[in-house]
């Protein structure tokens, strides 16, 4: 089975990073993932040149939005800047020709009704000019998370389904997050598809921690707590492009790719 496999790489020259790994796709940040300052293209020749070079080399680019984005929260001081930041990253990701912008599901506060978070997601989708697919990613921890448990993901999806632009919202399935978040990998692809109707990208990662630990700590394939057969099964069942967010550089990633390809 031929699956496109790539990795999360440094943003300075993503196309060179893809070549170093023999990969046809890569994911990267635009600037600091912990900052509200807005996206930065660090590729020396700028966004348009990066887009042209990636197309020329046949490399698909994916952008991961900052971790701090939380459009679900009832806290205005976080939600409003988060929406602004999401739009800025959407705009810049489109400029570099990215195939998708990945964003975490965020969370509400402990005493909030989760329905408020679902509705805030709907409002965020309506407020965003979605130029390339926006891929919501499941997360590993937190009892108040919007995308850890399947019932919450279903709540988000139901809410955004009525929003203008909903057809441009997809799903990124992270294997480490699913395992650590307490979602059985045996059925997670089917479970997610029943809710979202689609899986656009897989973040394939082993997990340093046990099932349902709530800990988001990635490991190289075979070095973590996820059954290798299950990890492979998710990739096979999802049938979507794969990004490895595993530790290390080109050497470690190439070895992770080989591990996965052997089993596929």
Q: What pLDDT is recorded for position 170?
A: 98
| CA 116, 117, 122, 125 torsion-angle sign | positive
Query: In which element (H, E) is residue 102 found?
Result: strand 100-104
Residues 4, 24 contacting (CB under 8 angstroms): yes
Per-residue tokens: 151: 């019932």
Per-residue tokens: 8: 């999360």
Alpha helices in the chain (DSSP H): 14-21, 47-57, 76-95, 114-127, 150-160, 175-180, 188-196, 228-238, 250-263
Q: What pLDDT is recorded for position 1?
A: 64
Closest CA to 175 of 145, 211, 206, 201: 206
What integer best gives the mean pLDDT of the chain? 97
Q: Which residues pair with 100 in a beta bridge?
A: 62
Residues 219, 208 contacting (CB under 8 angstroms): yes
pLDDT digits (tens, 9 = 90+) for 70-88: 999 999 999 999 999 999 9
Q: What pLDDT is recorded for position 229?
A: 97
Q: What pLDDT is recorded for position 12?
A: 97
Query: In angstroms, rounded to a whole number, what is the distance separating the alpha carbons of residues 125 and 166?
Result: 7
Q: What pLDDT is recorded for position 156?
A: 98
Which residues of the chain carry a pLDDT beneath 70? 1
Domain 64-263 classification at class level: alpha beta
Query: In angstroms, rounded to a whole number, what is the distance separating the alpha carbons of residues 231 and 190?
Result: 14
Closest CA to 170 of 144, 147, 149, 151: 147
* Residue extents of the structural domains in the chain: 64-263
């Amino acid at each position: 089975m031929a699956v496109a496999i790539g990795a999360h790489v440094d943003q300075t020259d993503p196309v060179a990073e893809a070549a170093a790994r023999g990969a046809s796709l890569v994911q990267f940040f635009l600037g600091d993932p912990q900052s509200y300052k807005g996206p930065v293209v660090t590729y020396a020749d700028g966004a348009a040149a990066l887009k042209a070079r990636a197309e020329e080399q046949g490399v698909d680019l994916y952008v991961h939005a900052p971790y701090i984005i939380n459009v679900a929260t009832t806290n205005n001081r976080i939600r409003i800047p988060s929406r602004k930041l999401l739009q800025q990253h959407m705009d810049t990701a489109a400029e570099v020709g990215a195939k998708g912008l990945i964003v975490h599901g965020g969370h509400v506060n402990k005493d909030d009704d989760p329905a408020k978070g679902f509705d805030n997601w709907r409002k965020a989708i309506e407020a965003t000019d979605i130029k390339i697919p926006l891929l919501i990613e499941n997360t590993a921890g937190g009892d108040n998370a919007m995308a850890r448990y399947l019932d919450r993901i279903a709540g988000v999806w139901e809410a955004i389904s009525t929003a203008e632009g909903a057809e441009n919202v997809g799903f990124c399935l992270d294997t480490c997050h699913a395992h650590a978040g307490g979602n059985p990998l045996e059925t997670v692809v089917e479970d997610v598809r029943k809710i979202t109707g689609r899986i656009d990208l897989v973040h394939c990662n082993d997990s340093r921690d046990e099932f349902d630990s709530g800990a988001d700590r990635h490991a190289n394939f075979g070095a973590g707590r996820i059954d290798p057969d299950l990890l492979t099964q998710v990739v096979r069942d999802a049938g979507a492009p794969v990004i490895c967010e595993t530790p290390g550089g080109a050497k470690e990633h190439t070895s992770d790719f080989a591990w996965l390809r052997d089993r596929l």
